[in-house]
């Protein structure tokens, strides 16, 4: 980077090139803006480099290994199944590299200027971008902050070679024999499951009443049951992690459950207790951007902060830290800057856990609808009654469709089962389009597919199920 005596001018400056920032930059460029994007790390942010993508690659590899060892009921027996974890990590890295290089190509293809360095607000119309050698001031008409989040560190569990966060867990060189996971949310459950499938003895310590508390109990219970069935996963709920003793080759974790203090030895302890917004080193106080005590930036329905030409998206604003939420908000912010009447509506944003079985939810749950005084019908259809689920040997789970009693409009759905992560999109579309259960039921779904479960659940909602007894 060249030291600039004069500021470089741009229409829209985007800070952060994760799934929120790079999408915002591309959309702004498509809408005629001159766009500059600033990134201090790798393009693609946490999601592409050390989050969503590499974790799913690791989860897939774990599934392949587990399936190779346990397909006897299909008449398939494999002997001497082995894992070359170095090759697993190399393959995972190749997946990441393809996507991150793709992001760079997309940005350049849309004529977005890519600047490497850290951004610091000088005032509400300019930032100083610094790297190790130099600095340059950029003057903007509008700015979009998309700096993401980082793992929360517990005071008693300072990160080290043996006390790791999700990034460290994804970069292990060898499969640990034993792993302690503090936090039974979606990150802890996904990574704990991946390593359990590779043969690691996993202990999950969760302070709340259950794992995956963001999902309905009948959904999380399926995951909990399957984890316990593996025989190498121990789950402690209502348990508090107290301390850790580190040695050259492992850790001893002390935790308390039901008033009793226990210890467990492991190779590593993985801490997954949430994420903290990256808003503390941007100089936001310089320009008066309003934030909460937790460092979350306050925005309106158009992603605008308290400073009218500065926008914020993704993990640094209220809501779940989901990559697709950040991308969605990025498009909204870019369109608002371009003068379009866009605003955020979170009802159709799904949440997914790549557990066993997969969990997915969108819109209202039955309980949430009742809390808001909406009278609903909750229609359930089991995977066990679906031909494709049977042929996949994946009969664990169900779909629940939430429809308004007044008019039959779909306002929510929950899925626990194989490919729930893919199936939830149809329900998100139904909610966005204001479709009824009848609209879904009258849509011809290919046979045999898991997608038929959606049609069948809609028929249950209408009171005329075909493949289960009413």
189 is annotated as contributing to ligand binding: yes
159 is annotated as contributing to ligand binding: no
65 is annotated as contributing to ligand binding: no
Q: Which of 63, 70, 445, 447 is catalytic?
A: 447
185 is annotated as contributing to ligand binding: yes
56 is annotated as contributing to ligand binding: yes
Report residue 78 as tokens.
């494999």
Whole-angstrom distance, CA of residue 319 vs CA of residue 378: 25
190 is annotated as contributing to ligand binding: yes
274 is annotated as contributing to ligand binding: yes
187 is annotated as contributing to ligand binding: yes
188 is annotated as contributing to ligand binding: yes
315 is annotated as contributing to ligand binding: yes
250 is annotated as contributing to ligand binding: no
Whole-angstrom distance, CA of residue 393 vs CA of residue 381: 17
147 is annotated as contributing to ligand binding: yes
Q: Give catalytic status of residue 447 as yes or no.
A: yes
Annotate the chain with three-state secondary structure: CCCCCCCEEEEEEEECCCCCHHHHHHHHHHCCCCEEEEECCCCCHHHHHHCHHHHHHHHHHHHHHHHHHCCHHHCCCCCCCCCCHHHHHHHHHHHHHHHHHHHHHHHHHCCCEEEECEEEEEECCEEEEECCCCEEEEEEEEEEECCCEEECCECCECCCCCEECHHHHHCCCCCCCEEEEECCCHHHHHHHHHHHHCCCEEEEECCCCCCCCCCCHHHHHHHHHHHHHCCCEEEECCEEEEEEEEECCEEEEEEEECCEEEEEEECEEEECCCEEECCCCCCHHHHCCCECCCCCECCCCCCECCCCCEEECHHHCCCCCCHHHHHHHHHHHHHHHCCCCCCCCHHHCCEEECCCCCEEEEECCHHHHHHCCCCEEEEEEEHHHCHHHHHHCCCCCEEEEEEECCCCEEEEEEEECCCHHHHHHHHHHHHHHCCEHHHHHCCCCCCCCCCHHHHHHHHHHHCCCCCCCC
184 is annotated as contributing to ligand binding: yes
> Which residue ranges are tagged as binding site?
56, 147-149, 183-190, 206, 274, 315
The residues that are catalytic are 447
> Which residue ranges are tagged as binding site for FAD?
56, 147-149, 315
> Which residue ranges are tagged as binding site for NAD(+)?
183-190, 206, 274
């Amino acid at each position: 980077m060249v030291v600039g005596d004069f500021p470089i001018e741009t229409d829209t400056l985007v800070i952060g090139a994760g799934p929120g920032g790079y999408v915002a930059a591309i959309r702004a460029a498509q809408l005629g803006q001159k766009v500059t994007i600033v990134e201090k790390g790798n393009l693609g942010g946490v999601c592409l480099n050390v989050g969503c993508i590499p974790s799913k690659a690791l989860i897939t590899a774990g599934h392949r290994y587990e399936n190779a060892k346990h397909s006897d009921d299909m008449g398939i027996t494999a002997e001497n199944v082995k894992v070359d974890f170095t090759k697993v990590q190399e393959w995972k890295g190749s997946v990441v590299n393809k996507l991150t290089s793709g992001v760079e190509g997309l940005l350049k293809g849309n004529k977005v200027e890519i600047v490497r360095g850290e951004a610091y607000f000088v005032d509400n119309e300019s930032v100083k971008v610094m790297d190790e050698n130099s600095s340059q001031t950029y003057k903007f008409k509008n700015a979009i902050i998309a700096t993401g989040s980082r793992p929360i560190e517990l005071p008693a569990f300072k990160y080290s070679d043996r006390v790791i966060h999700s990034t460290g867990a994804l970069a292990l060189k060898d499969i640990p024999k034993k792993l302690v996971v503090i936090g039974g949310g979606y990150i802890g459950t996904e990574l704990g499951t991946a390593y359990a499938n590779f043969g690691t003895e996993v202990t999950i310590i969760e302070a709340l009443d259950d794992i995956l508390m963001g999902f309905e109990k009948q959904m999380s219970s399926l995951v909990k049951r399957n984890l316990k069935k593996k025989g190498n996963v121990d789950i402690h709920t209502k348990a508090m992690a107290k301390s850790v003793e580190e040695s050259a080759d492992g850790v001893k974790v002390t935790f308390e459950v039901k008033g009793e203090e226990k210890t467990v030895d492991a190779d590593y302890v993985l801490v997954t207790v949430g994420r903290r917004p990256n808003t503390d080193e941007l100089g936001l106080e310089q320009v008066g951007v309003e934030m909460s005590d937790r460092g979350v930036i306050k925005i309106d329905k158009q992603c605008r902060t308290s400073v009218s030409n500065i926008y914020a998206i993704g993990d640094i604003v209220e809501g779940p830290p989901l990559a697709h939420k950040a991308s969605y908000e990025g498009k909204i912010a870019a369109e608002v800057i371009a003068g379009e009447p866009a605003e955020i509506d979170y009802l159709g944003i799904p949440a997914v856990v790549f557990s066993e079985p997969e969990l997915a939810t969108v819109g209202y749950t039955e309980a949430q609808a009742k809390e808001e005084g909406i009278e609903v019908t909750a229609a359930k259809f089991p995977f066990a009654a679906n031909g494709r689920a049977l042929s996949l040997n994946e009969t664990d789970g169900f779909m629940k469709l939430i429809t308004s009693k007044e008019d039959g409009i779909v306002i929510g759905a929950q899925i626990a089962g194989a490919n729930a992560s893919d199936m939830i999109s149809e329900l998100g579309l139904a909610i966005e389009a204001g479709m009824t259960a009848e609209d879904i039921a009258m849509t011809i779904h290919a046979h045999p597919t898991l997608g038929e479960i959606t049609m069948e659940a809609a028929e249950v909602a209408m009171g005329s199920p075909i493949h289960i007894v009413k």
